[in-house]
Amino acid sequence: MLEPVLQASNLVKRFGGLTATDDLSLDIREGEIHAVIGPNGAGKTTMIGQLIGELRPDAGSIRFLGQDITHLPVHKRSHLGIARSFQITSIFLNFTALDNVALAVQAHDGHSFRFWGDARRDAGLREPAMEALKQVGLAHRADVVASALSHGEHRQLEIAMALATRPKLLLLDEPMAGMGPEDSARMVAMLQSIKGSVTMLLIEHDMDAVFALADRITVLVYGHGIATGTPDDIRRNEQVRQAYLGDELEA
Amino acid sequence: MPALMHKPVTTIVAIALLGLLALVPVASEAFDDPFMLTLFTRIVIMAIAAVSLNLILGYGGMVSFGHAAYIGIGGYSVGILAHHGVHAAWIQWPLALAMSGIFALLIGLLSLRTRGIFFIMITLALAQLVYYLGNGAYAYGGDDGLTILKRSDFGGLIDLNHRPTLYYLCWAILVAALYFCHRTVNSRFGMVLQGAKSNDRRMATIGFPIFRYRLTAFVIAGMVCGLAGVLSATFTDFVSPAMMHWSRSGDLIVMVVLGGMGSLFGPLFGAVSFLLLEEILSGWTEYWKIVFGPILVLVVIFARGGIDGALSRGQAGALMTGIAAFFLVYGVHLVYEDAWIIPTLILAAAFTLSGLVWWHYRRKRVASTETAGGDHA
């Protein structure tokens, strides 16, 4: 079998007396959408924080494409190909949608110690940025200031910025958070359309979306992965039913 | 779109203001008022310092409460060299810039690891350190300061002893600083700087090592401010720790806020209005800050984005009228004195007129856009 794109081994993260990540191991395979589900407080965002580099695990290691990245800072992981969309929309509100994505492109186009040329007329930034906006279906809103976009559009912009860094692994932290059913459906379709071209780790509470998209699912409870398997495996897993899914899946 | 449509108003006013500033030596000559040139040389020099602060404060979100330190470092570099008999500007000026840059680098390395109130406090503390360094430098006058007996020598190319020449040099450096700022904030570097102000966590996630970009901006701002210090020392033939007192750093922040943070011409508007108000109000009373304080509060409350913000929102008429009213009151005050009365009344009339014209023009434009909107509906 191929080496997984990302391999987290025995991660532990404690905050005082609370063990937010408890001996968590996770493999993400090339091209798959790997969903991580779990009740509130299961440690999903803490896990993402460690994978992206904002948090240092107290124990364990993280390997990405064969390289140990456990102690690499955030921006270096980005250059290796890890991108993230935030649970709480985290964009540059006073920039236009296109400016936002162009900045993400710029981050991966050499150093930015360039003081003279007008970055907003730089085709090398604008064109790839426009491509990313098209990918998420936001091209028609390119010149709108981000603060004037709707919540659903903010979520799309989040993904566009992550995609613009040409990631090998995309960490999606609740991309459908706060969305209505229509926007959610559009987001699922969009993720479906880029599936295969980029490996994704998906954290999401919307079970319909998770089971529609995921190739494999890991269930997290109290920071520990209690099961990993295909959606069907997870549906049938007795332990998972008891711990978390309960009635939700029987309906 | 509206923001883009209104933008030229600010630019037009700023260019007009720069044009008027270019005429100051002529006016000073015509009115036989040498003090006018003195005042405006100071204003132009402080505007350069404010432009440099705006680069990190307005565009970069770094509230440096120690920016006046670089005025002192630039000034002392010239003063100390002159004290030791080195007068060649080709040595003095680059060295002053280098010293400002080195101090900014050191202060930035320490302070930029923090955010928010901690950053404000650390920049303040480090600037005070530099201030007391000047105070303790007894070889160079300590807190009495150091008189510069001979101005920088450009080898006959520029005669800094000629007051209008010095003024035009300052003016040209101000224009150059504004142009440099304009290019920089719209460049790739400027995008990183503004992005880091808005959301530094996201910047790291998309792959920017933002610390080195912030530090670079901090050093550039320190060097430009150091240049303002060089000009200030040259102009007054004097350096003292007072020029880097923390309250001077506060003044610079007030100029930037008053004019409009994060707008290109904001610091220009801010420096001109702050120092003119200071000059005029302190002529009335020793306690001029009692009047100035409420004015500043009113601007912060009612004109978000300072003077620049008011201009680009189309409140130019209101602004002009406010200035006109101010000059009228000042004119009445002057009736009991003597000098300045005629230029003041001329200014009052000019601002009243332009305020009225602006209001009229704006009402017409609002009316026309309303009909245009109606057609579509």
> Which pLDDT score, from 0 to 100, does residue B3 have?
43
Quote the percentage of chain B above a pLDDT of 90: 67
B193 to chain A: nearest residue by CA?
A: A112
CA A53, CA A74: separation in Å to the nearest integer? 5
Q: What residues contact residue B98 under an 8 Å CB cut-off, 6+ apart?
A: none
Give strand ranges (E) for chain A: 6-15, 18-28, 33-37, 59-64, 67-68, 82-85, 169-173, 199-203, 216-221, 224-229
pLDDT of B71 higher than 70: yes
pLDDT of B216 higher than 50: yes
Q: pLDDT-based confidence at B338, cuts 50/70/90?
A: low
- Look at residues A221, A207, A87, A108 and name the one whose alpha carbon lies nearest to residue A155: A87
> Which pLDDT score, from 0 to 100, does residue B375 have?
35
Please give the single-letter amino acid code of residue B108.
G
Q: Which range in A232-241, B207-216, B289-298 is most confidently predicted, on average pLDDT?
A: B207-216
CA B177, CA B374: separation in Å to the nearest integer? 45
| Dihedral (Cα; B336, B338, B340, B344), 10-degree rounding | 30
Q: pLDDT-based confidence at B303, cuts 50/70/90?
A: confident
> Which pLDDT score, from 0 to 100, does residue B372 have?
45
Per residue in B268-282, is it b (16+ CB within 10 Å) or e — as a string? Answer: bbbbbbbbebbebbe
pLDDT in tens, B236-275: 999 999 999 999 999 999 999 999 999 999 999 999 999 9
Comparing CB atoms, the residue among B198, B199, B213 nearest residue A112 is B213
pLDDT in tens, A212-228: 999 999 999 889 999 99
B274-279: Cβ within 8 A, 24+ apart: B274/B46, B275/B39, B275/B42, B275/B43, B275/B46, B276/B43, B279/B39
- Look at residues B322, B328, B319, B327 and name the one whose alpha carbon lies nearest to residue B362: B319
A171-185, B73-87, B149-163, B318-332 — which is least confidently predicted? B318-332
Q: pLDDT-based confidence at B8, cuts 50/70/90?
A: confident
> Which pLDDT score, from 0 to 100, does residue B90 have?
95
- Look at residues B54, B70, B55, B64 and name the one whose alpha carbon lies nearest to residue B110: B64
Does the pTM of the predicted model rise above 0.90? Answer: no
Domain ranges of chain A: 1-81+167-251, 94-165
pLDDT of B82 higher than 90: yes
> Which pLDDT score, from 0 to 100, does residue A251 have?
42
Interface check for B165 against chain A (CB to CB < 8 A): the answer is no
Question: What is the ipTM for the molecules in this complex?
Answer: 0.89
Interface check for B207 against chain A (CB to CB < 8 A): the answer is yes
> Which pLDDT score, from 0 to 100, does residue B301 have?
76
Pick the CATH number of A1-81+167-251 from 3.40.50.300, 2.60.120.10, 3.40.50.10190, 3.30.470.20: 3.40.50.300
Average pLDDT over residues A124-151: 95
The residue assigned the tokens 């005629």 is: B342
Collect all residues of chain B within an 8 Å Cβ-Cβ radius of residue A118: 186-187
Comparing CB atoms, the residue among B192, B195, B205 nearest residue A52 is B205
Mean pLDDT of chain A: 91
Collect all residues of chain B within an 8 Å Cβ-Cβ radius of residue A125: 188
Comparing CB atoms, the residue among A79, A103, A162 nearest residue B195 is A103
Q: CA of B133 to nearest chain A CA: how many angstroms apart?
A: 33
Q: Which residue has the higher pLDDT, A78 or A251?
A: A78
Residue A223's H or E segment, with its range, is none
Q: Tell how far CA B108 is from the center of its chain.
A: 21
Average pLDDT over residues A236-250: 70
pLDDT of A39 higher than 60: yes
The residue assigned the tokens 């003195």 is: B38
CATH code for the structural domain at B2-314: 1.10.3470
> Which pLDDT score, from 0 to 100, does residue B210 have?
95
Q: Which residue has the higher pLDDT, B372 or B163?
A: B163
Retrieve residue B203's tokens: 């910047």
pLDDT in tens, A142-166: 999 999 999 999 999 999 999 999 9
CA B58, CA B52: separation in Å to the nearest integer? 10
Q: Which residue has the higher pLDDT, B333 or B78?
A: B78
> Which pLDDT score, from 0 to 100, does residue A156 have?
92
Average pLDDT over residues A51-67: 95
> Which pLDDT score, from 0 to 100, does residue A230 have?
94
> Which pLDDT score, from 0 to 100, does residue B4 have?
44
**Cβ–Cβ under 8 Å, residues A216 and A230:** yes
Collect all residues of chain B within an 8 Å Cβ-Cβ radius of residue A108: 207
**Cβ–Cβ under 8 Å, residues B165 and B158:** yes
Q: pLDDT-based confidence at B280, cuts 50/70/90?
A: confident
Average pLDDT over residues A23-48: 92
CA B92, CA B89: separation in Å to the nearest integer? 5
Q: pLDDT-based confidence at B362, cuts 50/70/90?
A: low
Q: Which residue has the higher pLDDT, B363 or B18?
A: B18
pLDDT of A203 higher than 90: yes
> Which pLDDT score, from 0 to 100, does residue A87 have?
83
> Which pLDDT score, from 0 to 100, does residue A245 have?
59
pLDDT of B347 higher than 90: no
The residue assigned the tokens 């609002």 is: B366
CA distances (Å), origin A140, targets A97, A131, A154: 10, 12, 14
Q: What residues contact residue B4 under an 8 Å CB cut-off, 6+ apart?
A: none
Comparing CB atoms, the residue among A75, A90, A114 nearest residue B188 is A114
